[in-house]
Structure 1
């Protein structure tokens, strides 16, 4: 196909890119389904709760949280609104910046995360880790670290 050559991609390179996209979608859909069925918790909500749980003081500035999750800033704001309504997250003003807000994991949010984490980890194991040999996991880590580096 001429378009591929014109853009500097071979058919194989494009196929690998598409396989990576399909693999990510397949695993994500499986995790999403498991979390929704077992815990009524969307994957994006789980990700936000996990990011907050791992942060010092279980809190992150909204801008920092947006950089860590795969949501737009407006999408994150809507998600935090829902999590706050459910009592899983609270918002607190930043003492040093009147415009800044923190998202804070509540005790209820931590409990919900704790309940959902075994389901999430089982899904990661069955849909990703168990499909790879230990040396493939090590190679995958190296490759993904290179892809995740800022350019």
Structure 2
């Protein structure tokens, strides 16, 4: 290869790009643990439990098909089934057969589950502010959200 022939293959990362890659990698490990630890310490609730209740509260009719709930919470269907059974024992949701498909099940948020979510929300909010937003005051948040959504594959 001559001195004027450009190299083939992927373009190496710049020093700044490499720093972002390393910071994102660390963030993906540390942030979920920190948010979960705050909920467990102050609410005796896991981030997964909070996520299930939040997803159900934001759903159109207060219920979601178990497979949709698993996808929304980034869990396997078997993991969601175990977690839903636990939340059902606690009275936070019920599972009912789908009207349109006798093979499917819906998770339905109960009043007790909504009350539990509302009780945990201040802890989650304080945790998000402490671990995330207190560090982003000088950034353009709409642009950051757009970039993060693009990275995640959302339009």
TM-score (norm 1): 0.86
Q: What residue is the counterpart of 2:12 in the other structure? A: 10
Asked whether the 8 Å contact 1:129–1:137 carries over to 2, the reply is: no
Match of 1:135 among 119, 134, 139: 139
Aligned residues: 147
Q: What residue is the counterpart of 1:56 in the other structure? A: 60
Asked whether the 8 Å contact 1:51–1:68 carries over to 2, the reply is: yes
Gaps of 5+ in 1: 1-5
Q: CA deviation at 1:84?
A: 0.9
Q: CA deviation at 1:9?
A: 6.8
Two-structure CA RMSD over aligned residues (Å): 2.2
Gaps of 5+ in 2: 1-7
- State the 4+ residue runs in structure 1 displaced beyond 6 angstroms: none
1:2-151 maps to which residues of 2 (within 5 A)? Answer: 8=10, 10=12, 12=15, 16-133=20-137, 135-149=139-153
Q: Report the structure, 1 or 2, having the larger helix content.
A: 1
Larger CA Rg, structure 1 vs 2:
2
Look up the SS of the partner of 2:139 in the other structure: helix
